[in-house]
Structure 1
């Protein structure tokens, strides 16, 4: 995209939003009331521990959904969680897209057909490495928190980007889910007590009248711990948790992997053996319209933020202006420079149809000064600036207020 400025020598990642969470029930469930009693989610009055995994529907094809969901269920999950990606559904105001891998209804029905629940995080904020958290064009007001907690297994997902089982994580987590399901009644109804052994070592006990379940935790990152619980000693590896469903026998430890390990073997692409079948061609971009003619889609008397002007439809925005210099202008000099205060990731400058220079900003730096010597002429001069972004921040304090593009000022400095 591009825009044209009026003539002048001077012109001017985790905020957390409350996400309403809906639990969509499958066809085979008889539940009619979903609530939370302060201890657990309840379905028809029964306390539940629901194990949920994330599948972001726009990040896979609709044809992949059934297999991904089936493997999730086999891994011991009760629910599939997903955000609603609003900037994908409404790329332009009041123009909606729910086709293909954006077919949210189809995705929910596919989960439903597998007998799982859906945790639908309707947003609008998305904290999932999604450009600008889907918030392009929106102004955020205040932040709030909700009663739901989600946990993360970081970026090594149990299913890889192709839908293959990522072993040993998938099998290791399946065992964890089986153990947690076996003590659901104790977790949701038992009285909770904690024994502090100091040095970041604890025992948490869930006890009902019938049975007790214990969690032995060692938060030390380098040293194992020995815990004496009810006269029995247990060794808990560093940075791990042991689960004892009956407070006597260890059924699971987060650091002890007992499942198979899979190794992905990369095979050479056979197409590389047939270079004749691969034909590359370069097509230079025609920049005459912006660099030489200074023409844009809109004309404005002030600099616009790139998010507002491009609306995430493009990572590029041209800023163009013309400057008419006279010999008696106080700024006129044979030693002049162009100074630009930018906030995009990359800035390229052209003067009178010729490339001047480029500058790349540093990571985390949202205000950068570009200044280069230029040679202008008496009379008409065209200055064209190309601002490029490589994605917008999607989290952090007031991330929505971070400017992009060229906020200005843009100055001609004469000496």
Structure 2
């Protein structure tokens, strides 16, 4: 767009406006204590709130990590910690509840409260969340007549029992805001619109019942339903997705606030797929747009910290690391610039709180794909959001002042005059995460192995004259189900064509105890076939087929009817599906719990052999590495299986399932420090394929580099806004609000080396850079003087600071790359 076409003078306030309805939904509480809402926002203890929230799931980290994760979220400008409640984690067997360790939701909520933040409890109790079976306990599968998530009495009974259990637990600890606690919002059900039509006439009554049941529990705080536009009053309908500033149709009542319950900071990743990278700039744009265009006053980042799918908790084909690309990575380290850029956004938006929460809204066109959204109070407090939805940078004229507005960005003006923040201009540092080997397991003498026995038909007790469904047989006690049968061969030894069709996730075949091939599906194509030539000997042949699930399904209608496992077995065209079959649930090593110290002696371990074979257990011992850096197992030399440290499952691995780029989806696996003893830790690996354990290593997870790239056209960090605002003299204000490169190393690390520094026109970015046509020779000495030996440093972007202008009349940039040790 030409500059002359985009410059429009705004002379009067008119047209579209927004004012808060006077109606308040009163939800309980005593003497004004509690949470209500109106069309503007949640109202906590009588005060309208503009809230930023971050999802941190308590079982995807460890209790010793919770304080640090919550503190980093708070430092990043987060007001609310949101979590799902995991039904199958808390009630694995009907009527048997577990709330210790990573399951201690009460302690998690109390830690949130101790750090002065609010909490949002998404009880569900169906949650999806890429969690096995969507959080539902598998024992529901065997309840007579049950139909999940519908107007079905058996399901509603158990759902109400669990929801009531959680609510009463929170009440007994005084954790609802109406009791002076931190919980200000709850959720019932989860994205039900996606499946509602499938249930026909049983869908809408279920929605009404779920809402009524939740409200009847009298928590004194509002309930929400995400992606449920017809959420019954007083339940608030909310938005999920990446672009709710564009896609949200709004609250279904003018008396309800606009809430974004899931702003996806990345996306879940499955085996065989690359990670989804969502930029800090894109996230910031859509948050600012939701607040301005949709009157949003509550935004939650899903996930703020994703964490780890420990043990067998991940759903079908999900990798063990969860939302590692969030503002806090899997290990709890800040991921820059995402964490810092969003912190800047939060600070800029909070500067607009009064106009956003009490002002009148006006919309003005500034040209094609350009808009000003202004909030103004009766006392003339004003905040403006200048929006460029276009694909080119442009200048806009707003209130007789020209503003540069980069493509696909929003500028936030807390006083309708000065830009505090632009969503596309990243002024914060970028960091680099590295893995450094601290211990190798390269001595074969330190490893022991146990070869998993291959069962024959005679070894089984469960029998049927058909192929049994996998999940209904294992009942989520194991990923593994053996299918065994016998074949009589009356002719001499010969090769036969062997075909197996499966709806599980992977399959390993054995003929007379010898390995005969493997196959697997994918997240998108779960059905697969194994076709191979096998040798049948004269006499009786034992066929043993190991069906493998890599997590249970987590979504979709009629989940209780989903099937998995072998569907057809044929040899040389003859169908063997309906003949005597013997079944064994799980592996012998699992049943003996050889991953525990107490169970390890239940089997006979031997020294590591010279050759590997499928279905082998490996064991070694190690001491905890010094320090407190996060650590991870590098399993890049392995194939597929699972790992335990001191009996605690660190998750499934599937290194052999490569992405289109030829790399594993994940090869480092988080080992929380709390899982370790100072010495003599036991590591047990179950390898389904033929990996090499002597190439496994234990690595420290480190932030090794920090880089800043800021130009003279960037806006100063928002923290300088309030200081500048207090200055009476304009020149003082200008000196205070100057763009800077700010670098910082993690705790206990310092800047030890300046890898690159250029003030001028450096080419490239923090990933790849070079000195450009314009370069100040003072760049490195000035940066080194400011930064070396320090935990953090700040370098103003000005020619004066670099003792001269290397290229007058050219916009200059400072790019610094530094090493942290």
2:448 paired residue number:
281
Per-residue deviation, residues 236-276 of structure 1 (Å, max 9, x unmatched): 2222221111222111112222233444454441x34x956
SS of 1:62 mapped into structure 2 = coil
1:153 paired residue number:
265
Root mean square deviation, CA, Å? 3.4
Match for residue 343 of structure 1 among 486, 494, 503:
503
Per-residue deviation, residues 47-83 of structure 1 (Å, max 9, x unmatched): 2112111211112211121222122222222111111
SS of 1:39 mapped into structure 2 = coil
Query: Unaligned 5+ residue runs, structure 1?
Result: 1-28, 328-333
Asked if the contact 1:366–1:402 (Cα under 8 Å) also holds between the matched residues in 2, the reply is no
Match for residue 548 of structure 2 among 359, 383, 388:
388
Asked if the contact 2:91–2:137 (Cα under 8 Å) also holds between the matched residues in 1, the reply is no
Cα separation, 1, equivalents of 2:148 and 2:531: 34
Match for residue 251 of structure 1 among 405, 420, 434:
420
Relative to the length of structure 2, the TM-score reads 0.42
Cα separation, 1, equivalents of 2:95 and 2:470: 21
Post-superposition offset of 1:125:
3.1
SS of 1:238 mapped into structure 2 = coil
SS of 1:283 mapped into structure 2 = strand
Asked if the contact 2:87–2:137 (Cα under 8 Å) also holds between the matched residues in 1, the reply is no
Match for residue 409 of structure 1 among 565, 568, 573:
568
Relative to the length of structure 1, the TM-score reads 0.78
SS of 2:124 mapped into structure 1 = coil
SS of 1:96 mapped into structure 2 = coil
2:795 paired residue number:
none
Post-superposition offset of 1:385:
1.5
Cα separation, 2, equivalents of 1:30 and 1:140: 40
Asked if the contact 1:85–1:134 (Cα under 8 Å) also holds between the matched residues in 2, the reply is yes
Asked if the contact 2:50–2:353 (Cα under 8 Å) also holds between the matched residues in 1, the reply is yes
Asked if the contact 1:336–1:414 (Cα under 8 Å) also holds between the matched residues in 2, the reply is no
1:7 paired residue number:
none
Asked if the contact 1:294–1:384 (Cα under 8 Å) also holds between the matched residues in 2, the reply is no
Q: Does 1:360 align with 2:520?
A: yes
Q: Does 1:218 align with 2:388?
A: yes
1:103 paired residue number:
104
Per-residue deviation, residues 326-382 of structure 1 (Å, max 9, x unmatched): 89xxxxxx8854432211222122344443322222441122233344555787554
Asked if the contact 1:341–1:368 (Cα under 8 Å) also holds between the matched residues in 2, the reply is yes
1:43 paired residue number:
44
Cα separation, 1, equivalents of 2:373 and 2:351: 17
Asked if the contact 1:366–1:403 (Cα under 8 Å) also holds between the matched residues in 2, the reply is no
CA distance 1:307–1:348, shift in 2 (3 Å): same
Cα separation, 1, equivalents of 2:443 and 2:570: 52
2:202 paired residue number:
none
Asked if the contact 2:519–2:528 (Cα under 8 Å) also holds between the matched residues in 1, the reply is no
Cα separation, 2, equivalents of 1:276 and 1:371: 38
SS of 2:447 mapped into structure 1 = coil
Query: Unaligned 5+ residue runs, structure 2?
Result: 1-29, 141-146, 151-191, 194-227, 232-236, 239-259, 267-322, 575-821
**Superposition pairs of residues 47-58 of structure 1, within 5 angstroms:** 47-58=48-59
Q: Does 1:181 align with 2:354?
A: no
Matched length: 376
Post-superposition offset of 1:195:
3.1
Q: Give the number of the structure with larger relative contact order, counting CA–CA contacts within 8 Å between residues 6 or more apart.
A: 1
Cα separation, 2, equivalents of 1:313 and 1:258: 50
Cα separation, 2, equivalents of 1:91 and 1:58: 14
SS of 1:80 mapped into structure 2 = strand
Cα separation, 2, equivalents of 1:39 and 1:119: 19
